[in-house]
Structure formats: C-alpha cells, structure tokens
C-alpha cells in the first residue's frame, strides 16, 4: 500500500518552504541572499516564522527521501535506481541550469550589486555567463545533495547486504533518542565554507536514518504511538530556538555558524523531523483529490517557486513600485502561481522537460 503520509509530508513541507522564502526575501536580520528589508518597521516580528521552521523543514525532506529510496529499491534494481535518480535529480540541477535556471541566476545577481562589481573587475563575458548559470542553482542544492547521497547509498547497500535494515527494524525508542548525537556531530563536519546550505554531513545523517531506520514499519508504529509527545517537544524546542536567537539575540543568523552547529539547532531539526514523520503517519495518512493534485505538482512547485518570489523582489519591490504589504502578498501569489504555470508548460515540451525537470519521454502504447 502507498504511504500517503509521505506524500503529504512532501507537499506540506514544500508549501512551508515557499512561505519561508517570502519572509526570507525581505528579512531584516541581514540573512544574505534576498533583497532585504523593505518596510519602515524597527523590528519585523513576523520574521520569527523563519526561525520556527528553518531548522527542520529540509532535514525532514532528506529523511523522507531516505525512506522513499528504500521503498523504490525494494522493487527496482540498483542500476535502475541510479538511472532514475540521475535523470530526476542530476539532470535538472546541472543541464537544467543552462536550459532554464540561468534566468533565476540573472535575477539573483541583479537583486544585489554583483553586476556592477563585475563590470569594475572587467570579467570576460563568457565567465560572466557561467557565474549567472551557477547562481541559478538556488533551491536546486537539495536535489544536488540528494543525488550524491543516492549514489553513495548504492555501494553501502551492497557492502552491508541488508543486515543494517534488519537491525534498523529493531530500533528501540531509547536508541531513536540517542540518534540525536550523530545528528549533532554531523552538523560540525563537511559544511561548505561559503554556501551554508551545502551541509554534506548533517543532511546525510537524516537521509541514512530515513533509509535504514525510519523506513521500517515497526519504527513508524513507535513514532505514531508517541506522536503527540513528539509534536509537543518539537513545538517547545522550536519556540525556544526562535525566542533565543530572534528575540534575545536580536535576530542572530540562524542559517550559518555558529548557530547551525549548536545542539539546540540539531535538537529542533531532529525532533521536528520526527514530529512530522510520526504526526503525519498517525493523523495524515490519507489521500483525496486535493492531496493527490498537490503531490503531482510538488516537484514543479519546489523547482520554480523562487523565481516568482525573486522576480517580484527584483522588478517591483526593489524599485519601490508597490508598498511593502503588497510586495509580500504578490511574492506569495507569484511563488505559487508562476511555479504551477511553468510546470504545466515545461512538463509538456518534449526534450526540454527532460533537461529542466528530468521528465523522460512517455512510452507510446503499441497497438496490436
């Protein structure tokens, strides 16, 4: 049977990411990457939303990706897994940069002063284009890391020959709690020095735990049984994190060191992920027309949502064409609307959809 709660976790989390990026785009805490503050408020108290959700929403996606990899590999050979993941993950995050995402790169660069800086440095035009292309990676960092993890998983699986899966199925509750320590430890290693989202060690632990531990129904049943407790713990921890770093420490950067290396960040990430997994397994394991539609469009929403948000920031908010509340609202609308529109258009263009979205050519039925 299909595990609908995994589908629902995916689209609910991606919707949360879209909302987060609207606040992130106009944040007043100096978190780099967006346009920055466009209001006259001394303190944008609503920015606390970023602190409440940032620690856990990407870890839970990697956790679910690990579980989904286990489900896929149970009915497909390793070679097909490699081929499928390469097409769906690597192609859009590499070839897709040249085919489409360079547009995102252009907007990202022109939001700031990068073009003026490049003009003063007399950088050759071909190199400028490559910089624009690379800058278009944006939210695709997630699928880039996921492809790397998927490729690492295959040899690990061959070496351990299923023994770790059997062990993972027997994981007791106390051991689930102990897993916090490798999560925290992994937060200290393999972090990219400049682009802070590339946390190879931290997210890999979630992916592997998803594959070897939380893909087992026996473990999920334990999380379901304690779902209310996990949700309560996650809420308390995330509120504590937000209050401490946003209110007490005046909007300290949650996305970079030292904050994202600290135990409170790791606790929010891990407990929040378990709360989502256990809570949705218990209360969100259902399907209807709306959830099916959201699940079908989810990848397109993730890939394209930032273009609408950043486009409004670049062409409307930056020149001050609309008041701040209208820019926020329009960014939210465009984040969803443009993403769904682009997905509907590009997913129907043969060849191009493969480069941008990793959608292969549909097999034609053979008439007898």
Give the model confidence (pLDDT) of 23-52 as tens digits: 999 999 989 889 999 999 999 999 999 999
Q: What is the mean pLDDT of residues 62-74?
A: 97
- pLDDT band at residue 124 using 50, 70 and 90 as cut-offs: confident
Q: Is residue 367 part of a domain?
A: no
Q: Which of 38, 4, 12 is nearest to 272 (CA)?
A: 12
Percentage of the chain lying above the pLDDT 90 cut:
89
Handedness of CA 73, 76, 81, 84 (dihedral sign): negative
Report the alpha-carbon distance of residue 120 to residue 189 in Å, rounded: 36
Summary count for the chain: helices (H), strands (E): 18, 0
Report the alpha-carbon distance of residue 352 to residue 122 in Å, rounded: 34
Residue 135, Cα to own-chain centre: how many angstroms?
17
Q: Is residue 361 part of a domain?
A: no
**Helix residue spans in 161-288 (DSSP H):** 163-169, 173-178, 180-186, 200-212, 217-225, 227-242, 263-283
Percentage of the chain lying above the pLDDT 70 cut:
95
Q: Is residue 364 part of a domain?
A: no
Q: Is residue 292 part of a domain?
A: yes
pLDDT attached to residue 121: 63
Q: Is residue 366 part of a domain?
A: no
CA distances from 258 to 58, 176, 262, 270 (A): 18, 26, 7, 18
Cβ atoms 354, 91 nearer than 8 A? yes
Give the residue with greater pLDDT, 361 vs 308.
Answer: 308
The phi and psi torsions of 191 (rounded to 5 degrees) equal -95, 130
Q: Is residue 368 part of a domain?
A: no
Q: Is residue 363 part of a domain?
A: no
Report the alpha-carbon distance of residue 264 to residue 285 in Å, rounded: 29
Residues in the chain: 368
**pLDDT at residue 140 greater than cutoff 90:** yes
Report the alpha-carbon distance of residue 260 to residue 270 in Å, rounded: 13
pLDDT tens digits, residue range 351-368? 999 999 999 876 444 333
Domains identified in the chain, total number: 1
pLDDT attached to residue 191: 95
Residue 28, Cα to own-chain centre: how many angstroms?
22
Domain that holds residue 100: 4-356
pLDDT attached to residue 366: 39
Record the tokens describing residue 21, joined without a space: 């990026």
Q: Is residue 218 part of a domain?
A: yes
**Helix, strand, coil abundance in the chain, percent, nearest 5:** 75, 0, 25
Residue 287, Cα to own-chain centre: how many angstroms?
23
- pLDDT band at residue 123 using 50, 70 and 90 as cut-offs: confident
- pLDDT band at residue 235 using 50, 70 and 90 as cut-offs: very high
């Amino acid at each position: 049977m299909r595990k609908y709660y995994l589908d629902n976790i995916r689209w609910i989390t991606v919707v949360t990411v879209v909302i987060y990026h609207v606040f992130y785009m106009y944040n007043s805490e100096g978190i780099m990457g967006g346009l920055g503050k466009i209001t006259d408020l001394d303190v944008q108290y609503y920015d606390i939303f970023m602190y409440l959700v940032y620690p856990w929403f990407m870890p839970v996606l990697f956790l679910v990706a690990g579980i989904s990899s286990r489900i896929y590999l149970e009915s497909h050979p390793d070679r097909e897994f490699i081929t499928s993941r390469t097409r769906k993950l690597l192609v859009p995050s590499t070839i897709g940069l040249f085919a489409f995402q360079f547009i995102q790169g252009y907007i990202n660069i022109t939001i700031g002063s990068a073009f003026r800086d490049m003009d003063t440095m007399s950088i050759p035009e071909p190199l400028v284009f490559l910089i624009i292309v690379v800058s278009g990676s944006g939210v695709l960092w997630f699928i880039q890391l996921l492809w790397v993890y998927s490729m690492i998983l295959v040899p690990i699986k061959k070496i351990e020959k299923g023994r770790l899966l059997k062990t993972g199925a027997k994981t007791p509750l106390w051991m689930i709690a102990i897993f916090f320590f490798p999560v925290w430890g992994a937060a200290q290693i393999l972090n990219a020095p400049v682009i802070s989202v590339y946390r190879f060690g931290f997210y890999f632990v979630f992916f592997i735990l998803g594959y070897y531990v939380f893909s087992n129904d026996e473990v999920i049943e334990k999380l379901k049984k304690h779902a209310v407790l996990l949700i309560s713990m996650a809420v308390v921890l995330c509120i504590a994190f937000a209050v401490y770093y946003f209110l007490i420490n005046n909007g300290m950067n949650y996305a970079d060191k030292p904050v994202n290396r600290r135990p409170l960040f790791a606790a929010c990430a891990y407990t929040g992920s378990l709360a989502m997994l256990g809570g949705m397994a218990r209360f969100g394991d259902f399907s209807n027309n709306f959830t099916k539609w959201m699940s079908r469009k989810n990848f397109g929403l993730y890939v394209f949502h930032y273009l609408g948000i950043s486009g409004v920031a670049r062409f409307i908010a930056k020149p001050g064409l609309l008041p701040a509340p209208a820019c926020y609202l329009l960014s939210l609308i465009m984040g969803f609307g443009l993403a769904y529109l682009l997905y509907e258009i590009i997913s129907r263009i043969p060849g191009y959809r493969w480069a941008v979205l990793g959608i292969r050519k549909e097999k034609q039925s053979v008439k007898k």
